[in-house]
A = this chain, B = another copy of it.
Amino acid sequence: MPRVIKHPELRREELLDHAQALFLTQGYDRASLNDVIASAGISKGAFYHYFASKEALLEALADRFAKQAMAGVQHISGDPGLDSLGRLNSLLAQSRRAKIDTAPEAWALFETIFRPENLVLFHRINLAASASFTPLLVRIIRQGVEDGTFKTFDPEGVADIVMQFGMATHDVVAKAINGGDADMEVAIEALERRVRLYEIALDRILGLPDGSIRISEAGYVRAVMTARRRQDAGKIG
C-alpha cells in the first residue's frame, strides 16, 4: 500500500469519522478494528499510533460527541435575559437539538441504530455528554431553587433524573422498534408521547405547574429524518 502521510489532527478526525459511521451502523462490538482501519484506508500500525486500543477509540468518539453537543450551550446558564425556567427550557431544547443534529446519520438510520448492540456506544456518549451537561444543569436548578421557582431538596439528583430521561430515549425507541412492528412512524409516535410525559414529570418533580417545561419541538425528529431520507434517496437513485 502506498504511504500517505497526513496532518495528525486530520487523520485522527478521519479515523473518528469512520469509526463513528461503523459503530453507529453496526454497533461497537460488531464493527471490528479491521473494518475501521480498512474503511479509513490505513494500517494497523498507524491506528495504534493514534489510539491505544479500540476502547480508547470509543472513548475519544464519545468525547467528541459530547464536545460537539456542548457547543453553543455554555452561555445559557448566565443569560440575563432569561429566568430560571427559561434557562432550563433553553438548555433542554438545545441539548435535544444538538443530540439529534450531531448524529443525524444515527437518527436517519433509525431502525439500525436503536438496537441492543449499540447500548455500549450510546451509554458512552451519554456518559460523556452527562459529564459536561450536568454541572450546567445543576447550576441552573440551584438558581431556580434559590429564587423560589423550583422546589426540590436535591438539585444534583434532579439533574441526574433529567439526564436519565435523555438516555431513556434509546430504550423507548428500541422497544417500539424491536418489540413487534418495525414501523418507524410508530416509533416516532412513541418517542414524542414519551417526551411529553417527561415534560410533565419534570414539571411535577420541580413543583411547577403542568406545561411549564418544554423540551420538544414537535415534529423535529421527523423533520430531520425525512430530510435525511430524501437526501439519501437522491444519492442512491
Contact = CB atoms under 8 A, between A and B. Distances in A.
Interface string A180-202: 00000000000001101100110
B201 A172 contact: no
A158 B119 contact: no
Contacts of A123: 119
A7 to B, nearest CB: 33
Nearest to A158: B197
Nearest to A124: B116
Contact of A161 (B152, B153, B160, B201): B201
Nearest to A123: B119
Interface residues of A, number: 24
Tell me the number of copies of this protein. Answer: 2
A109 interface: no
A56 interface: no
Interface string A156-169: 01101100110010
A228 interface: no
A207 interface: yes
Nearest to A126: B171
Contacts of A164: 164-165, 168, 171
Given A204-B205, A204-B207, A197 B120 contact: no
A227 to B, nearest CB: 28
Interface hub of A172, A193, A205 (most chain B Cβ within 10 A): A205
10 smallest A-B Cβ distances: which pairs? A204-B204, A157-B197, A201-B205, A154-B197, A204-B205, A164-B168, A164-B164, A157-B194, A119-B123, A161-B201
Given A161-B201, A204-B204, 12 more contacts: A119-B120, A152-B197, A153-B197, A154-B196, A157-B193, A157-B197, A160-B171, A160-B172, A164-B171, A201-B201, A201-B205, A205-B205
